[in-house]
Chains A and B, each alone.
Chain A
Amino acid sequence: MPHYSIFTLARNALTGHDRWTEAWRSPPLKPHYDVVIVGGGGHGLATAYYLAKEHGITNVAVLEKGWIGGGNTGRNTTIVRSNYLYDESAGLYEHSLKLWEGLTRELNFNIMFSQRGVMNLAHDHHEARDLKRRVHANRLNGVDSEWLDRKAVLKFCPVLNGDPGIRYPVYGATLQRRAGVARHDAVAWGYARGADAAGVDIIQNCEVTGFTIDQGRIAGVETTRGVVKARKVGVVVAGHASVLAGMAGIRLPIETHPLQALVSEPLKPILHTVVMSNAVHAYCSQSDKGELVIGAGSDLYVSYAQRGGFNVIEETMTAIVEMFPIFSRVNMMRQWAGIVDICPDASPIIAKMPVAGLYFNCGWGTGGFKATPGSGHVFAHTIARDEPHPINAPFTLERFSSGALVAEHGAAAVAH
């Protein structure tokens, strides 16, 4: 694997960049692997990377039906934070945030993790109560989080609408300074490059069409490119989790909903943090290219169409213009949708399945991107050891029977 640095860049510049080699190979699909990961998004590639790096399991294939990073990894609004309410979630997302902080170095690939802070706005004292509850819990869980009063909010983000007479004026906000945004595609590519270097086969354009199950134990997967044997199969397919689970005869508590996002035309730097609001219902940051990156809400019906209602775009633009009246004349440049798999408690499932050797990592809903490194890390552990890492132990499928849900609706009420 060619090392990336300013020096190798300069050296290659002398030869017109003709000598760079591929970031990852396109190897032929082998008939047998120790572990097959279904889904070449950020989570799947991270899982493969950590399987190789932390557990020495390198005979691994990542099977991607399209191109890697083409699902929600390449469609999200790139927010990374860990200020979740419950211990279980805080543990998971903070684990992830710590990995984010070293990821550029770890992968020798600049994933542009920009710790510019994430603010969650409160618009009245009721919202403030709920948000402060989170701030207190975060502090005790070792997650940086602070409460800003109205004045401090407007100082930290002067482009916010500070008019006290509006319907939902700014009352205060939580701020997680270590939170921020990252370059979404780079995360997939960085993990792919790292996994590939460790021997993992990344197979694109290979769709899984079924599982081979032998006496209650996974034996392999059927794909559009033939049967692949494996004693362990990890499935990380975002919106399509139910479809894959169905192939193994498993029912999931998941619905797949459209989630939309959009970007504006590029502007000179104007917004220097990430702002989210539940009451006004939108969130916004500015990319390094200068686009305002805006998340819309999800529609509440099952759909795999990657579309969503136009009214959601209108409502989101309303919220943005209400929060940032100076953005009114700025053009929306591109809108799109992804499909997200939503669990009833807005928390993921990262667990062993009733079929031995089969593992699912799903249900991230609207906020899976931020968890990419941590999710891959604990999922790799779960697959390698056939038992969950303590961090993902609460995120079972069985919690829906026992009732031990991790109800993070408050933390995840706005899609992000």
Chain B
Amino acid sequence: MSAGAQSFRLPAGGRIDRSSPVGFTFDGRAYRGYAGDTLASALLANGVHRVGRSFKYHRQRGILTAGAEEPNALVQVGLDRARTDPNRRATQVELYEGLEAQSQNRFPSLAFDLSGLTDRVSPLLPAGFYYKTFKWPAALWMTYERAIRHAAGQGRAPGRPDPDRYEHVHAHCDILVAGAGPAGLAAALVAARSGARVIVADEQAEFGGSLLSEPDGRQVGNRPATIWLADILAELSTMPEVRLLPRTTVFGYYDHNFLGLVERVTDHLAPADRPGSLPRQRLWKVRARRVLLATGAVERPLVFPDNDRPGILLAGSARSYLHRYAVAVGRRVAVLTNNDSAYRTAIDLADAGVEVPAIVDIRVDPTGPLVDRARRLGLTVMAGHTVTAVAGKGRVAGIAVERLSPDGRTLAPGVHSRVDCDGLCVSGGWTPLVSLFSQSRGRLAFDGAQAAYVPGTSVQAEHSAGACRGTQGLGACIADGHAAGMAAVDQLGLTVRRPADPAVDDPEEGPARRLWSLPGKGSSGRRKAFVDYQSDVMDKDLKLALREGYRAIEHVKRYTTAGMGVDQGKIGNMNVLGIVAEATGAPIPEVGVTTFRPPYSGVAMGTLAGRAPGRFLAPVRTTPMHDWHAANGAVFENVGQWKRPWYYRRGGETMREAVNREVAAARASLGMLDATTLGKIDVRGPDAAEFLNRVYTNAWSKLGVGRCRYGLMLGEDGMIKDDGVTTRLAEDHFHMTTTTGGAAAVLAWLEFWLQTEWPDLKVFLTSVTEQWAVISLCGPSSRQLLWEISDGIDLSAEAFPHMAMREGRVADIPARVFRISFTGELSYEVNVPAAYGAAAWEAIWTRGRAFDVTPYGTEAMHVLRAEKGFIIVGQETDGTVTPGDLGMDWIVSKQKPDFIGRRSLFRADTVREDRKQLVGLLTESPVEVLEEGAQIIEEEVPPAPPVAMVGHVTSAYHSPNLGRSIALALVKGGRAREGQKLYVSMPDRTIPVTITSPVFYDPEGARQNG
């Protein structure tokens, strides 16, 4: 192999910038290329063909194509631990100074890969071999699996988090053009001239598509093709309603003309040159009124023995390398084809001074202008022949050519000839890229002449143009683009004059010969003719699948894994269908087609995630008093989206010590809690009371103005949904509170009923959660403190009883004061406008010092409420708990004929006696705090599983006021078990517990009512 510096680079031509040499490394070795090269073209310029190992057999593989469909040349780009990208197609990696690339799936090196042994034993590893073996002994499967996993896989994930940024852009347009080749640009020009808002996206760095691979002399109309291209781009780029997106792949066509595009913003720059102001990639989310698909076609290989040898390229791709990158794919390059298009490659190679020893054409009598031209150039056309073997290990060294029998299924008797060559260009015809059309749900039609699927019936507002719908020839593609552009413009109700279709010299091409699987010599066991390079699927694997009954095309695909690799079958799918059709004797359309799924080519997960991970994952809601909490030792916990003080740490306290201190203070003197996060809904309207009657279990009509009532909400299934205290502010006006986590859901639920079921009720709901800051004062000194800092409120027990609300001023701030209690203590909830929250808190804190006021967090609140047996929705309930289960029948109205969920309370299962009911649990040891979530059983020594469970611990705390541990639990038939001994089962022991009432403290309620 020549290691000379770019010794395969032609002396002139190409779209590379010879004034900008670029250094890069591949597998640690330094090479040079030019700006404008891809990694693939630069490697080929340096004579490097072997770039990877195949997935299953670890065969040496070379660069096959020049585009996104590349199945072999997958490389790891970037050796930085954080910025390294697996499975990049070398054909799509733009060269930059200092680029580091590595081959994949080989150990220890590309040339010598230990797993290459699998190729030697490949007869043992046909399609689906793993289903038939590794079954014994069963215990060893995990060991076998580890070995399989290590042999499989391709690139490596980065070792560190991704430091790059990804952004999302939403866009609307009249026409989105996918693909900026001749057809796409022609269509874009028409669309743009009509005044439509147009987006043109192309996956390549440069617009032009196949035009970029045309030779210098190519004319479009009266201009050189390059000038035609430049003129269109110049015109488009001046139009304000046109957005041109190079390096942008339209990867997904979803419903209602929504398309996903990924724009590679900085990947082509050397890391040091990537501006920090730019994201690495952008995800464009485009809603287009009409979509114009001009995605082109890809060439398909022929299936013949050793067709995967490095040095074998698709003919059109070799032509791209020749004209676009000025790279010869070899010094002596043979051609194997079943159609005329490969003759262009042969002719162009010969014109460029590359020796073309033979054009092996499987057609018996190829004719036509291109064939004639090749013959006139003196090229040898071996008609009716095929390649039966390829010599050379890491690179083609020669081919064996033999004559086909008349039907092409076998070889004709005779001697084979050997053709020495270092490259082989192959063409099996062209496959229109219908991925996006198919993703749009459009129905495909089979074009027998081209042996390919083309767009049939559109389902969405879409048009296809050019090679992606089977149009052949540059001139025809441009004309097709004009026509599709006109049709799209017309559908939009716009008008534009159709440009003249330029005259283009497209030599007529004769028919191709379809032989899906070419014959070779020797046993089928040794034959290796690949259909899907990426997944290492051979023609014989497909036949094996069929033989074994995997006949549906999806079965064939899944059993052999054909089409399931990184290229998603772009290269191989049509050959798979052809071989299956041939083997089963069915016409190709009857074989069916596997579904094209997004994305068209891989999209980084980070791009799809955008800015959402990390800081913006979920909103953080804080109360107006948050900064005070943070400055005063609060340890926060997540409650829904809120950050709430869990407890306040003083000095070197443990959490337990802090919570004990807070709990004790709240009962001894005065505690203060930030209760702002409770959901608050303003319910207003003449039918407000009636509405509450329907959504709560209890009755609301007779609640007096200024009075509060606790309510439970059920779902229609009778299960508790939420709870809270609601206060009547006026005849037609209520202030409802909900749980912190349930606020949004409750509002949505209430709105649902109002809008869809009871639109006749005159009620308005407004979320006021964020409008009020709430400070809960708790403890015997709370009245005294309020006395000192409030105005206009008669705080006497008679004038302001429990479950009442008064308005006045607190700390000179207008306030609503609710006398309600979630702790069983004398307690007031002071509501002030949120903007005053911090001031009110500071004032209470300052004035409260005289009463030894103690801020307490949610954990202390939980202990305090548990001492009283008050439930927390979501902790004592889990969506399977009724009011009766909690002993809360008192809140379920017997008078009201109906409310949401009422009927469900009378079903067979909800009236069962042995439902789980809320009880208290006391351990024998006062210091033993049970584990929340632990299960309760009846036996001290549990029998063998399954063990009958009679309940579970819902809440468990140390209660400093009781000087012992307490717990709440849901236990089957629990209320009837009071006094009974049960066991809490832990992995290593059982803990005896006694069932008690769930109210541990002040059962008469004297403290809160005082």
Contact = CB atoms under 8 A, between A and B. Distances in A.
6 contacts: A13-B123, A24-B549, A167-B620, A269-B153, A329-B605, A332-B602
A320 B136 CA distance: 36
A326 B617 contact: no
A141 interface: yes
A112 B566 contact: no
Contact of A333 (B258, B602, B878, B944): B602
Given A266-B55, A314-B612, A322-B617, A402 B908 contact: yes
B548 A288 contact: no
Contact of B597 (A17, A264, A286, A335): A335
A217 interface: no
Contact of A265 (B154, B559, B608): B154
Interface stretch (B364-372, B478-486, B793-801, B927-935): B927-935
Closest 5 pairs between A and B when the two form their complex, measured CB to CB: A331-B602, A290-B153, A142-B945, A22-B549, A328-B606
Contacts of A334: 564, 568, 597-599
B410 interface: no
A385 interface: no
Nearest to B882: A403
A23 interface: yes
Contacts of A204: 552
B878 A329 contact: no
Interface stretch (A2-10, A29-37, A244-252, A360-368): A2-10
A156 interface: no
B603 A331 contact: yes
Residue picked from A10, A310, A331, most chain B C-beta under 10 Å: A331
B548 A21 contact: yes
B550 interface: yes
B932 A137 contact: no
Interface string A152-187: 000000010100001110000000000000010110
B651 interface: no
Given A9-B133, A129-B875, A288-B148, A20 B544 contact: yes
A74 B594 CA distance: 13
Contacts of B555: 67-69
A288 B933 contact: no
Q: How large is the interface on A (under 10, 10 to 19, 20 to 34, 35 or more residues)?
A: 35 or more
B609 A91 contact: no
Interface stretch (B155-163, B193-201, B462-470, B890-898): B155-163
B552 A322 contact: no
B525 A403 contact: no
A108 B135 contact: yes
Interface string B108-143: 000000000000000110100111111110100110
A403 B168 CA distance: 46
A112 B141 CA distance: 8
Interface stretch (A350-358, A371-379, A404-412): A404-412
Interface residues of B, number: 113
Given A136-B934, A140-B947, A320-B605, A326 B158 contact: yes
A329 B165 CA distance: 11
A317 interface: yes
Contacts of B84: 329
B124 A9 contact: yes
Interface in A384-401: 399, 401
B717 A403 contact: yes
B86 A139 contact: no
A391 to B, nearest CB: 11
A318 interface: yes
Contact of A16 (B150, B540, B932): B540
B558 interface: yes
Contacts of B937: 140
B985 interface: yes
A203 to B, nearest CB: 13
A300 interface: no
Interface string B77-120: 00000011111000000000000000001000000000000000
Contacts of A289: 152-153, 561
Interface string A325-353: 11111111111100000001000000000
A333 B599 CA distance: 6
A265 B559 CA distance: 19
B558 A74 contact: yes
Given A104-B135, A167-B620, A132 B605 contact: no
Interface of A: 4-6, 8-10, 13-14, 16-18, 20-26, 66-70, 74, 87, 90-91, 102, 104-105, 108-116, 123-126, 128-137, 139-142, 159, 161, 166-168, 183, 185-186, 189-190, 204, 264-270, 280, 286, 288-290, 305, 307, 310, 313-315, 317-318, 320-322, 325-336, 344, 399, 401-405, 407, 409-410
B86 A265 contact: yes
Given A110-B134, A139-B987, A321 B946 contact: no
A269 B162 contact: no
A105 B140 CA distance: 13
Contact of A129 (B87, B258, B933): B933
Contacts of A268: 105, 150, 153-157
Given A23-B548, A268-B156, A334-B568, 14 more contacts: A4-B131, A130-B933, A136-B931, A142-B946, A265-B566, A267-B155, A268-B153, A317-B605, A331-B566, A331-B604, A333-B566, A399-B909, A403-B718, A409-B879
B637 interface: yes
B614 interface: yes
Contacts of A105: 135-136, 138
A218 B548 CA distance: 35
B130 A110 contact: yes
Contact of A267 (B133, B154, B608): B154
B145 interface: yes
Contacts of A331: 86-87, 566, 602-605
Given A167-B617, A265-B86, A403-B908, A270 B134 contact: no
Residue of B544, B609, B717 most packed against chain A (CB within 10 A): B609
Interface string B567-602: 010000000000000000000000000010111001
B157 A9 contact: no
Contact of B124 (A13, A313, A318): A13
Contacts of B603: 331-332
Contacts of A109: 131-132, 135
A4 B132 contact: yes
Contact of B637 (A124, A320, A332): A124
A270 B49 CA distance: 29
Contacts of B540: 16-17
Contacts of B565: 266
A403 B134 contact: no
Interface string B924-957: 0000000111110100001011110100100000
A106 to B, nearest CB: 10
B258 A23 contact: no
A117 to B, nearest CB: 11
A236 to B, nearest CB: 19
B702 interface: no
Given A307-B254, A403-B718, A67 B552 contact: yes
